[in-house]
Structure 1
Amino acid sequence: MTSDHDTLWRRCAYLGRVLLPLLDQEPWRQDRRQERLHLWGIDVAVGERLMEVFAALAAHAVAVDTSLSAAEFETLRLSAVADAATGKQDFELLAGLPETFADDRDEIAVKVLRLHAYRGGQTSLQLLRLGTEVRRTLTVLAARESVPSPTCGDIFRKAHKANLPQ
């Protein structure tokens, strides 16, 4: 039986996975993001994967802080997730994660982020830059919505319309 906390993490991870494909509906955005990652010395594939997990961590931190259940996750405002991406400390983003992850890729990416957070120096700067990219992504996607305070549910509906994998 899957706990609500594990289900909540899976919803957060899904949010992280669909953000970049939705953003990249304007192809020039992908080119610019990849150019920035390259300039920062971050491998594009690694950077984009870390952005996915960073977004999931930010969403998870806000959901846990506000005591949202997995069923209520869709009501979480994108602006709150964007604020967490740049406003929360590394340890706040990493707190309260599940003991195990259903997806090994999530577990590995979280461990990489954890190592970056504890290493400090240049890797901390890279985390700051990735957080800024996540915030930019969420802000752009929120601006595309016709509702005043877009939520994670709005993003999930867009992902469903775009036939992005669950």
Structure 2
Amino acid sequence: MTSEHETLWNRCAHLGRVLLPLVDQEPWRQARRRDHLRTWGIDTAVGERLIETFAALAAHAIAVDAASLSAAEFDALPLRAVADAATAKRDYELLAGLPGTFADGRDEHAVKVFRLHTYAGGRAGLQLFRLSTEVRHALTVLAERSPVPFPTCGDVLRAN
């Protein structure tokens, strides 16, 4: 049986996974992001997975901060709040309140890689900072592209 907290994480992780495919509806955005990753010395596959993870962690941090939103309430979380969290919260703050275990081994691995980057500091910390700007940009693009005035996480998930 899945706990409410695990269900919330799964919704956040799903948001992270759909983020780049939705942004990449305009192919030039993918090329620009990949150019940035190469310029920063970040492997494209690793960087894009970290962007997904970063978005999931930012959404999860906001949901936990907002009096522990339930998975059902997650859909009402404003996309702009997640975008703000991606750059306003410290990397280690995004790791607070995560589930103890992950149903998806891929999520667990991605969070461990993020955690390693967070605590390594130096170049790894700089890379996370750069990735945070990519996450914020991607979420902002989706918010601006949305037909509703104040899009939510649920609006993004339904668009996928």
Q: Is the shorter-chain TM-score for this pair beyond 0.5, marking a shared fold?
A: yes
Distance in 1 (alpha carbons) for counterparts of 2:34 and 2:154: 27
Corresponding residue number in structure 2 for 1:124: 125
Corresponding residue number in structure 2 for 1:164: none
Structure 2 segments unaligned to the other structure (5+ residues): none
Corresponding residue number in structure 2 for 1:145: 146
Corresponding residue number in structure 2 for 1:99: 100
Corresponding residue number in structure 1 for 2:60: 60
User: SS at 1:75's partner residue?
Assistant: coil
Corresponding residue number in structure 1 for 2:87: 86
Which amino acid in structure 2 is aligned with residue 118 of structure 1? Y
User: SS at 2:75's partner residue?
Assistant: helix
| 1:12-68 residue CA offsets vs partner (Å, 9 max, x unmatched) | 000000000000000000000000000000000000000000000000000000021
Please give the root-mean-square deviation of Cα atoms over the aligned residues, in Å.
0.5
Distance in 1 (alpha carbons) for counterparts of 2:93 and 2:86: 10
Corresponding residue number in structure 1 for 2:13: 13
Which amino acid in structure 2 is aligned with residue 149 of structure 1? F
Which amino acid in structure 1 is aligned with residue 17 of structure 2? R
Distance in 2 (alpha carbons) for counterparts of 1:50 and 1:103: 15
Query: What TM-score results when the alignment is normalised by the length of structure 1?
Result: 0.95
Corresponding residue number in structure 1 for 2:109: 108
**Identical aligned pairs, as a percentage?**
72
Query: What TM-score results when the alignment is normalised by the length of structure 2?
Result: 0.98
Structure 1 segments unaligned to the other structure (5+ residues): 160-166
* 1:147, distance to aligned residue in structure 2 (A): 1.3
Distance in 1 (alpha carbons) for counterparts of 2:147 and 2:49: 28
Distance in 2 (alpha carbons) for counterparts of 1:32 and 1:130: 13
* 1:148, distance to aligned residue in structure 2 (A): 1.4
| 1:51-100 residue CA offsets vs partner (Å, 9 max, x unmatched) | 00000000000000002101110000000000000000112100000000
* 1:8, distance to aligned residue in structure 2 (A): 0.1
* 1:149, distance to aligned residue in structure 2 (A): 0.8
